[in-house]
Structure 1
């Protein structure tokens, strides 16, 4: 017995996931700023970190953990405030970067492992993602074709593939901006200030998020 919905349902789900990936939001804006600051490869690594967070949310939805965020105001608040605090930390790191640090070849940017962890934390600490998955994935699952857990896990993986495709394009495009900025430390400094502003705005938006 198949454990995934029919192909036409999966096609609609994939197209919906791609469309959602292009909608401006904290994750794709985060990929754009990090790619512009550090280049295409770091942007792709951030994307993988974000998608690792999506894997966490997929498992949480499949096994019912994500329901806690839709029913517990305390859990929702704690997670979103932790995420907002982390974004403010990233904003401070970007804002205090000096021109000499930006133009330096050594130690001028976070390591790939640091960027990967940034992506994970950025995604996991956004409880709206968990609630979105809790509302979105089950719409495409069908109990008549098999157990729900494998279906939800499969749908989550398809959503992650769509996200990698869309965010990868964002990282690739923003990387060209980053290459241009390498020749201008002043422009890099301005972009860091812009990135700091974006992080603060994302932090405020996350902190103000309601269930």
Structure 2
């Protein structure tokens, strides 16, 4: 384990990074506004499971291999970008239920599907891989124990903080979304959600390997 002072610094730095909305937060907020806070929380949980995959990959050294290979990095980047853009287009094309009054909401997406999408979105996010290979290793102290063990502990601590932070965003966005009702609001929510996904896909495609 790193020294207590180093660990506290890592937690403080991680919390500061998490409080600034990033791609994952925008994805979760879009889901919460579109379908409610429950959908946002499920999406947040899926995102963290996708993050766990990156943590385990960093422990195993797979992330380093991906980042050192232009071909593998490009494959990860373009798969992630295509997936996000595809989600956005499908959201735009999804049919709305027939209007039935002021309580109309966009057509709901099954929670299992939301969870799976959250996992895939973060698994295919090259920025997450860059984070665990560029930021987290700065707090690993080789003289304090096995590097793989410290990487795992720090990664899991980051995911705990990310779960709390993302869940808070999901609850706030879900609360805001409850005040948006009616056919016009439903179309606005669908358009905004699809636009966020497409924008995230474009942003993923723009990520550079350094």
Question: So what's the TM-score if we normalise by structure 1?
Answer: 0.91
Shift of 1:149: 0.9
| Pair 1:14 & 2:6 matched | no
Cross-structure match for 2:120? 121
Cross-structure match for 1:112? 111
1:1-211 equivalent positions in 2, closer than 5 A: 4-100=1-97, 108-181=107-180, 183-211=181-209
Count of matched residue pairs: 207
| Residues in 1 aligned to 2:125 and 2:193: alpha-carbon distance in whole angstroms | 19
| Residues in 1 aligned to 2:55 and 2:128: alpha-carbon distance in whole angstroms | 10
| CA spacing shift, 1:9–1:102, aligned 2, 3 Å | farther
- Given that 2:96 and 2:106 are in contact with CA atoms closer than 8 Å, whether structure 1 keeps it comes out as no
| Residues in 2 aligned to 1:121 and 1:102: alpha-carbon distance in whole angstroms | 33
For structure 1, the 5+ residue unaligned runs are: none
SS of equivalent residue, structure 2 residue 94: coil
| CA spacing shift, 1:72–1:81, aligned 2, 3 Å | same
- Output one character per residue of 1:6-56: Cα deviation in whole Å (capped at 9) or x when no partner: 222222111211111122321110011001111111111111111111111
| CA spacing shift, 1:159–1:196, aligned 2, 3 Å | same
User: CA RMSD for the aligned pairs?
Assistant: 1.9
SS of equivalent residue, structure 2 residue 208: coil
| CA spacing shift, 1:149–1:101, aligned 2, 3 Å | farther
Shift of 1:97: 2.9
For structure 2, the 5+ residue unaligned runs are: none
SS of equivalent residue, structure 2 residue 179: helix
Shift of 1:162: 0.8
- Given that 1:94 and 1:192 are in contact with CA atoms closer than 8 Å, whether structure 2 keeps it comes out as yes
Question: So what's the TM-score if we normalise by structure 2?
Answer: 0.92
